[in-house]
Amino acid sequence: MRAKHSFSHSLFLVLGEGGKYRLRSEFSEVDPICMVSLARRICEQLARRSFRCFTTTSCAQLSRQGINNAGIYGMGKRQVTADGLELTMATNHFGHFLLTNLLLGRLKESGRSRIINVSSLGHAFAPKFDLNDLAISKNYNPTNAYSTSKLCNLLFTRELADKLAGTDVTVNSLHPGLVQTEIFDSMNFSFGTLITNIMLAVASKDAVSGAQTNIHLAVSEEVEGVTGKYFVDCKETPTRGGKVRKDLATGLWEASVKAVELKKDEIHY
């Protein structure tokens, strides 16, 4: 059985080291495992301008591992951000896309670096992917919003790996397993949520176990140089449903560039 990784490594770098230290100064008693929840709340609220301000002030303190782990489940009622993006997609995909691109130049300058995108087995349940409706304005429901955003994590990983080919920066994605976190707090009561709560009660991982694949991809020598792959329980695993196609990955990238208004001087690939 694989030994559990230590939390002595700088794991939760969703917002970079500078952002993490500011959180710790405000929440001095918060365990590092909880940093993901705090980062999630920030990603829900940050507009594009705030992301850019953040990277300008904290980029110098960036480590060589970046873990995009902020996430929410679909809201019971469709909501949009100040930038006009559907909230689930903004938090789970567009925020990661923008932040990664803004920090990419620094990561490349730092030498061997790793980007980790936390996806979910839920990608397999995504409806037919519509590049013309990333705002999920048609037939919205929470499950579709969540599963679509998790598919986007995989498509983003595939395209970014292709764009970074030949560099010292790798990017991989993962399914952490069924972990009892605050991501389920936004779920409205339904038969589906009843089943989910039962599964959480009998089969979920604790936070430490759920973080193992994150840490494995961030620090393990076993994955040095590995890129564009999907991992479950620290093992490379095929994605489900045949949906992680190159044409969709390229199309999503182009649509995301427009959605977050990525500028020419912010392109580092």
Catalytic positions are: 146
Q: Which two tokens stand for residue 255?
A: 């649509």
CB atoms within 10 A of CB 269: 15
Q: Which of 134, 79, 78, 123 is nearest to 258 (CA)?
A: 134
Main-chain phi, psi angles of 17, to 5 degrees = -60, -40
Burial of 199 (0-12, 13-18, 19+ CB in 10 A): exposed
Structure tokens at 225: 């140089």
DSSP 41-81: HHHHH--HHHHHHHHHHHGGG--SEEEE----PPPSS--B-
Say if residues 214 and 116 touch (Cβ distance below 8 Å): yes
Cα separation, 221 vs 50, in Å, equals 35
**How many secondary structure helices (H) and strands (E) does the chain include?**
10, 5
Rounded to an integer, what distance in angstroms lies between the CA atom of residue 238 and that of residue 42? 32
- Structural contact between residues 98 and 260, judged by C-beta atoms closer than 8 angstroms: yes
